[in-house]
Amino acid sequence: MIRLTEARFDPGAELTAFCAGRTESGAVASFVGIARGEGGAATALELQAYAGFTEGEIGRMVEAAMTRFDLHDALVIHRHGRIAPGEPIVMVATASAHRRAAFEACDYLMDYLKSRAPFWKKEHGPAGARWVEPTERDLDDLARWD
């Protein structure tokens, strides 16, 4: 399931719901990304999504992960709009028969979300605002899966 939301979400409650009723998935892995304050240098993040397009692109990434790692299920929740330091921005959860596939699929999905998901991120701080684009490190992380 893919959900874009401007509202805060509760990662614990989401994970509980994702695990509920599973009798055949022996493994669930999850990742939560949280907005950093950068020691006061970042006061807020502003994320733009392209309604109708962003969900479709993420859906294709999730489909690819489902096949590649033989997942039973996957969850992606991503915030957009204005996000304060300490708030969750993104959550990924994956379910599979055994742990390795769940861990790896979670890692894979996050690498794709960081560099390929259609979001545009602006960091606001006392020194002004700047657009953040994928770093060399993000692109190297992504290349691990080629």
Please state, in angstroms and rounded to a whole number, the distance separating the CA atoms of residues 76 and 103.
15
Only segment of 9-17, 22-30, 95-103, 106-114 that touches another protein (CB under 8 A): 106-114
Binding status of residue 11 toward another protein by CB under 8 A: no
Q: Please, which residue, 36 or 98, has the CB nearer to another protein?
A: 36
Only segment of 11-19, 62-70, 93-101, 132-140 that touches another protein (CB under 8 A): 132-140
Q: Where are the beta strands (DSSP E) in 35-137?
A: 44-49, 73-79, 81-83, 88-96, 119-125, 128-132
Residues of this chain, 23-52, that bind another protein according to CB under 8 A = 33, 47-48, 50, 52
Binding status of residue 120 toward another protein by CB under 8 A: yes
Residue 65, class by beta-carbon neighbours within 10 Å (0-12 exposed, 13-18 middle, 19+ buried)? buried
Closest approach, Cβ 26 to another protein, in A, equals 27
77 contacts: CB under 8 Å, gap ≥ 6:
3, 5, 9, 14, 90, 91
Residue type, 109: L
Binding status of residue 145 toward another protein by CB under 8 A: no
- Binder among 24, 133, 136, 146 for another protein (CB under 8 A): 133
Summarize as ranges the residues that interact with another protein (CB under 8 A): 33, 47-48, 50, 52-53, 56, 78, 89-90, 110, 113-122, 131-134, 138
